[in-house]
Amino acid sequence: MHLSEITHPNQLHGLSVKQLEQIAQQIRDKHLQTIAASGGHLGPGLGVVELTLGLYQTLDLDYDKIVWDVGHQAYPHKLITGRYPDFHTLRQQNGVAGYLKRSESRFDHFGAGHASTSISAALGMAIARDLKGEKHKVAAVIGDGALTGGMALEAINHAGHLPKTNLVVVLNDNEMSISPNVGAIPRYLNKMRLSPPVQFLTDNLEEQLKQLPFSESLTPELSRVKEGMKRLAVSKVGAVFEELGFTYMGPVDGHNISELISAFKEAHKHGGPVLVHVATVKGKGYEIAEKDQVGYHAQSPFNLETGKKNPSGKPKPPGYSKVFAETLVSLAENDPTIIGITAAMATGTRLDLLQAKLPKQYIDVGIAEQHAVTLAAGLACEGMKPVPVIYSTFLQRAFDQIIHDVCIQKLPVFFALDRAGIVGVDGPTHQGMYDIAYMRCIPNMVLMAPKDEAELQRMVVTGIEYDGPIAVRYPRGDGYGVPLMEEGWEALPIGKAEVLRQGDDVLLIGYGAMVYPAMQTAEILSEHGVEATVVNARFAKPLDTELMLPLANKISRVVTLEDGCLMGGFGSALAEELSDRGFSPTLLRLGVPDQLVDHASPDQSKAALGLMPAQMAERILKRFDLRETSRELAEQR
């Protein structure tokens, strides 16, 4: 059987181990060819090929439920659940999603793009099954990196309290999240990987006892001896999980299909909460990815033979993440109170630069955004200047801590929200659409966003110097190539905007990544005889009402431009101020409407939302009926 013939995972049932190994190689080949051509997550999926095939030999996915944590490790799952013919469209507009998605396949039982959710979701499914009197199996696959997230531990605590609820948790232990794991739990798991498998140790003991003379007379004692030996072994290996109410099995070789099938069958047979500890190698089967597990967690298109990225042509400007990190490092070199904090995203946020240069001023807390924020609050209490650098989409997980632990106490914590706005191919789970709205409503919070990478440098200084809660949002990707300063940056005055262009016909107020598009839109309008004033807002809170309100009152046609959700966003902030102050200009808010933005390139997403400069110019002309009056406006001038 060839991988291309598999449209249902049950077609794997009954195949020999040799046949499954052939399918495993075909999965790896297809996976590598696809990611090399179009980019995507590489290492996670390569590491779970045998795990997937072994587990699915013991499941009937017409009835049984499987929950994959995060989902970027589930590419093999996609390839055996009917998506092989379309797999070449992975992470492309209208193509196969990069994460699991309930609307994409009936075999995607739970969708997620954030870590540590799988055990909670699977336990919910198991409890629902029992309440309905059904008998199907429920399994969750979670990586050891995701196990550093508090939510996973909360779910383990709850599941262990339900000894009659059948649930299999597969711990995919590859010693990695994106970067090497940190913390006591990964260190404990590493010791477990080096210990003998508990289940097979006790089975061997039973076989040896049976060889003794008069072994039949020992039968009543055999189970007690076996259990005692198991407890002794578990005391060194799976004690924590056993004490939490789980039956522990493993470690199992995650690339031995025969062992995996045996372990999973035993786990389903046992009943109650069972944890199967599977040791895997991230990037398995592609030597280059095995040697560089951080670099090949995910890749842009690359040469499969050399592993090198495909040439992109002319040199690119530095990315926002790198500019932020390099500026922070420069400041931290002269200020030992500055502490950078990441939640397992050192390379993504480029805080790896701080780690390399000033390791004592760098903290990685694992996949634990809530802890990261409250840790920062504790540091701030003691006179430090903590800087949690967290993707916008991930900071959503710490909303309560931002309010309760930072803003109520007015602590000087500087939040850096990387990958804010439209992020592209990762899709709805990773879009940074909501931070303006969810941060703006919190008292004592200051919000800012740079128009380019040079202004970001000044905002880093502003955030460090400000004596209270403050946040900066900046987009994914490269800057504009504007000149950068190496030192001597000055802080910005809090709540002060700037005028970039003068015009009497319409007022365009851009925020952050939409300032340059606002300028481009103004140029297009000018071609139609409509002249615009363009303002770089810089701050969403507090707004520069001294500048904006008189301009709005004078020009009377106002447009706000943002790359976040319109509901509660930057445009809403200005609308509230205008209304509260009794101003009544005609207002057009351009941004992301009340809808999810699917995976596509950023420009494709913006085009679908009508946020490209030519589209915005057309919307402005139509909204203010300026196309017909543009000649009159030109004549009046």
The residues annotated as belonging to the active site are: 282, 369, 397
Q: Is residue 444 a contact partner of residue 315, using CB atoms and an 8 Å limit?
A: no
Q: Please give the order of strands across the beta sheet that includes 557-565.
A: 498-501, 532-536, 506-510, 557-565, 586-592
Going by DSSP bridges, is the β-strand pair 446-448/414-418 parallel, antiparallel, or unpaired? unpaired
Contacts of 186 (CB under 8 A, 6+ apart): 144, 145, 147, 148, 175, 366
CA separation for the pair 274, 167 (Å, rounded): 6
Contacts of 247 (CB under 8 A, 6+ apart): 267, 270, 272, 273, 274, 275
CA separation for the pair 384, 378 (Å, rounded): 9
Comparing CA positions, the residue from 328, 362, 337 lying closest to residue 462 is 328
Helix ranges (H only) for 75-218 are: 75-79, 118-131, 150-159, 184-193, 198-210
CA separation for the pair 343, 349 (Å, rounded): 10
CA separation for the pair 367, 394 (Å, rounded): 9
Q: Is residue 328 a contact partner of residue 334, using CB atoms and an 8 Å limit?
A: no
CA separation for the pair 514, 564 (Å, rounded): 10
CA separation for the pair 32, 49 (Å, rounded): 12
What 217-226 contacts at long range (C-beta under 8 Å, 24+ apart), as own/partner pairs, is 226/202
Q: Is residue 92 a contact partner of residue 600, using CB atoms and an 8 Å limit?
A: yes
